[in-house]
């Protein structure tokens, strides 16, 4: 389960990409389930299938294309993952987060993570967006951490802090952008909990997660964020609420992947527009703090 790749393996992938495109992205975006449409909005688009990139893991989930897309959103050069890797596909977590270190070696300074999530907070409706203020790394609390094993000091410190993982300035900015967009629904801000999946949660599990302090639940994002913070990237993210978690035994509905993809599809335009404006108005990062 421990990282089989050396620093040089990440370097090889970064150098391969830099030698196959002239674009020099500063912002990376990981597109969650049904949210890959953002990558079609870029100009000067240049795309690579994961299959052609040395050392890159391959994606297996329907709704996740498996493509790395370079291009501009307004004047900002971006690289976007259309399709990510999940623990439930059988990948060790260091592999799930492999692209993040490659981005850092390509001099990306900011990572934007997006995902589809179940709404545990009863105020959340399907189609709502939650800015991620904090996370609970449920697999991590049981020892499943992408940083497990020998530390690579060239990426970061052995014991990185996580109390400041989601950038406060960018979160404030997002609220300002949301106000300007004049949306009916509020922009939520809350805690994302990662579970291993692939099954959706039982009612008892949803109740447990809610009582733990989580507002939304999903099967991704946290490994990438941990690795990004470890190597000094600025991180910002949001969840699209694609279904309401089932919290009472009277309900006869169940969560399913089609519902998740459908909600992602319907809210995609709003989301894409939101991310575009955010990227456009994104300030440069402050100095690295560790
Ligand atoms: N649980 C876990 N992951 C999810 C959910 C959910 O309800 N919805 C979308 N991804």
Indicate the average pLDDT of the chain.
Answer: 92
- Say what the pLDDT of residue 62 is: 63
Q: Of all protein residues, whose CA lies closest to atom 7 belonging to ligand 1?
A: 118
Contact status, residue 254 vs residue 200, Cβ threshold 8 Å = yes
255 lines ligand 1 (CB under 6 A): yes
The residues, any chain, with a CB within 8 Å of residue 29's CB and separated by 6 or more, are: 38, 39, 78, 79, 80, 81, 111, 112, 114, 275, 279
Q: What is the pLDDT of residues 88-111, one digit of tens each?
A: 999 999 999 999 999 999 999 999
What does the DSSP 8-state code read for residue 87?
G
Percentage of the chain exceeding pLDDT 70: 96
Confidence of residue 63 (pLDDT cuts 50, 70, 90): low
pTM: 0.95
Q: Is 201 in the pocket of ligand 1 (CB under 6 A)?
A: yes
Kindly report the protein residue whose alpha carbon is nearest to atom 10 of ligand 1.
117
By most ligand atoms within 8 Å of CB, the mutation choice from 209, 241, 260 for ligand 1 is: 260
- Residue 268 predicted with pLDDT over 90: no
Q: Is 162 in the pocket of ligand 1 (CB under 6 A)?
A: no
- The 10s digit of each residue's pLDDT in 65-82 is 699 999 999 899 999 999
Give residue 290's pLDDT band: very low, low, confident or very high (50, 70, 90).
very low
- The alpha carbon dihedral of 72, 73, 77, 82 has a sign of negative
CA 195 to ligand 1: nearest atom: 2
User: Domain 7-280 belongs to what architecture?
Assistant: 3-Layer(aba) Sandwich (3.40)
* pLDDT for position 102: 98
The span from the CA of 281 to the CA of 248, in Å, is: 42
How far, in Å, is the centroid of ligand 1 from the Cα of 290? 33
Catalytic residues: 33, 64, 86, 88-89, 116, 219-220, 243, 257
Question: Is 221 touching ligand 1 by the criterion CB < 6 Å?
Answer: no
CA of 201 to the centre of ligand 1 (A): 8
Q: Is the CB of 243 under 6 A from ligand 1?
A: yes
Q: From CA 223, how far away is CA 98, in angstroms rounded?
A: 10
In this predicted structure, the answer to whether residue 22 has a pLDDT above a threshold of 80 is: yes
Environment class of residue 153 by beta-carbon count within 10 Å: exposed (0-12), middle (13-18) or buried (19+)?
exposed
User: Which atom of ligand 1 is nearest to 119's Cα?
Assistant: 7
Quote the ligand 1 centre to 218 CA distance (angstroms). 5
* Ligand 1 probe mutation, 63, 242, 262, most atoms within 8 A of CB: 242
pLDDT at position 250 over 70: yes
Ligand 1 atom 2, closest CA: 218
Examine the pLDDT at 289 and tell me if it is beyond 50.
no
Q: Are strands 27-31 and 43-49 parallel, antiparallel or unpaired?
A: unpaired
Report helix angle 7-20 to 98-105, nearest 10.
Answer: 60
Atom in ligand 1 nearest the alpha carbon of residue 118:
7
Rounded to the nearest angstrom, the distance between the alpha carbon of 151 and the centre of ligand 1 is: 31
């Amino acid at each position: 389960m421990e990282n089989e790749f050396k620093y040089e393996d990440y370097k090889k992938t970064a150098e391969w990409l830099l030698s196959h495109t002239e674009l020099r992205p500063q912002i990376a975006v990981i597109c969650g389930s049904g949210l890959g449409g953002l990558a079609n909005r870029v100009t000067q688009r240049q795309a690579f299938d994961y299959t052609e990139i040395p050392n890159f893991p391959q994606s297996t989930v329907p709704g996740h294309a498996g493509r790395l897309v370079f291009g501009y959103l307004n004047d900002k050069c971006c690289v976007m993952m259309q399709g990510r890797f999940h623990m439930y596909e059988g990948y060790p977590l260091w592999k799930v987060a492999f692209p993040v270190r490659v981005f850092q070696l390509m001099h990306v300074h900011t990572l934007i993570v997006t995902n589809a999530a179940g709404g545990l907070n009863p105020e959340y409706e399907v189609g709502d967006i939650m800015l991620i203020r904090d996370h609970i790394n449920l697999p991590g609390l049981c020892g499943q951490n992408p940083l497990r094993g020998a530390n690579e000091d060239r990426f970061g410190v052995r014991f990185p802090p996580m109390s400041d993982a989601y950038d406060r300035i960018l979160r404030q900015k997002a609220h300002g952008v949301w106000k300007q967009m004049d949306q009916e629904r509020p922009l939520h801000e809350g805690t994302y909990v990662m579970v291993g999946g692939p099954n959706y949660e039982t009612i008892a599990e949803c109740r447990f997660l809610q009582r733990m302090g989580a507002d939304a639940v999903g099967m991704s994002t946290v490994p990438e964020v941990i690795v990004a913070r470890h190597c000094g990237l600025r991180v910002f993210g949001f969840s699209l609420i694609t279904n309401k978690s089932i919290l009472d035994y009277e309900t006869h509905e169940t969560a399913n992947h089609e519902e998740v993809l459908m909600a992602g599809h319907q809210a995609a335009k709003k989301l894409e527009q939101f991310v575009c404006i955010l990227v456009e108005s994104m300030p440069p990062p402050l100095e690295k703090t560790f």
